[in-house]
Amino acid sequence: ETGVTQTPRHLVMGMTNKKSLKCEQHLGHNAMYWYKQSAKKPLELMFVYSLEERVENNSVPSRFSPECPNSSHLFLHLHTLQPEDSALYLCASSQTLRDYGYTFGSGTRLTVV
C-alpha cells in the first residue's frame, strides 16, 4: 500500500474515446498533483490542486480535464487524445502546497492508439 493509489494501472484507448484516470489518497494531504512522464524527458507538471482548488494549469491542452471533488480524490478526464499523449501519468500528494514531502502513486501507463 503506497498511500497514493492510482487506477487503472494500464489503459489503452483510441483517439476518439473518453476515459478517466483516478487518484486516491488517505494520508490527510491537502495538495494533489498530476505529472506526465514521457520517455527521455523530465517529468512535466500538469495540474496542481490545493484544498480542492486548482492553483496551476501548466499550459496543458484542453483534451486533459482535471477534477478534484474532495481532498482525497483527483481525476484526470481524457478525450480525443493524440498518440503523443501516450505516457505514464503520475499522481502525487503533499501535506500542504509547499511541503517538501511528496508521496507518489505508481502511475497509469496510458497508450493512445
Residues forming the site for another protein (CB under 8 A): 2, 31, 33, 40-43, 45, 48, 55-56, 88, 90, 92, 94, 97-98, 100-102, 104-107, 109
| Residue whose entry in the numeric block shows the C-alpha cell 481525476 | 75
Nearer to another protein, 16 or 100 (CB): 100
Nearer to another protein, 13 or 97 (CB): 97
Least spacing, CB of residue 105 vs another protein, in Å: 7
Counting Cβ atoms within 10 Å, is residue 91 exposed (0-12), middle (13-18) or buried (19+)?
buried
Please give the radius of gyration of the chain, using alpha carbons only, rounded to the nearest integer: 13
